[in-house]
Amino acid sequence: MEPWEIHPSLVHFPIALLTAGLCTDVYARARGNLSAGHVATGLYVAGVVMGLVTGLAGLLAFYTVPSAHTEQAHDQVVWHLGLALVSVVLFAGVAWMRWRGWRELPSVGSLVVSLVAVGLLTAAGYLGGHIVYHGAMGVEPGLLSPQLTQHHPSGTGEARYASGGADHRR
């Protein structure tokens, strides 16, 4: 596994854990089930920890990905990072509130913050997919068919490498 491949292998864990945390919290509130609320808190904590690890892997990927990609993809990475970071910070706040309110059901406020955070996380995930599938970030040109290679940024002279943010024209 190359350094830039760590992020895509981890990214699904925080998404699943944090979304499951929200769903479990909604269930806990609707059913008045404090035990389900405890499970949700654990999911939030695990999701935030995995989100931080995944974010660090994303930074590693940004600085080590060798394949060419579009200018637009390079610019979108900043938005992807920002959306994901804000989401994880919001979830960290929810996890902290839920941990401190261990003996209480989730408040409507914490559910709203979690819902907003899931929305931001979903947008970050969408943008991450767009960066790869439409901007070719992390895609090796040699793996593509001849028909796709002619559309890959490495063949256009518009390639940009993530390493150092420098522009490397071919």
Q: How far apart are CA 117 and CA 135, in angstroms?
A: 25
- The answer, yes or no, to whether residue 162 has pLDDT greater than 80, is no
What is the residue type of 80? H
pLDDT tens for each residue of 80-123? 999 999 999 999 999 999 999 999 999 999 999 999 999 999 99
pLDDT tens for each residue of 50-71? 999 999 999 999 888 876 666 7
Domain 3-165 in CATH 1.20.120: yes
pLDDT tens for each residue of 20-36? 999 999 999 999 999 99
Calculate ∠ Cα 148-150-155, nearest 5°: 125
Predicted model pTM: 0.81
Residue 2's pLDDT band (cuts 50, 70, 90): confident
Query: How many DSSP H helices and E strands does the chain contain?
Result: 6, 0
Residue 4's pLDDT band (cuts 50, 70, 90): confident
pLDDT tens for each residue of 113-161? 999 999 999 999 999 999 888 877 777 767 666 665 565 555 543 443 3
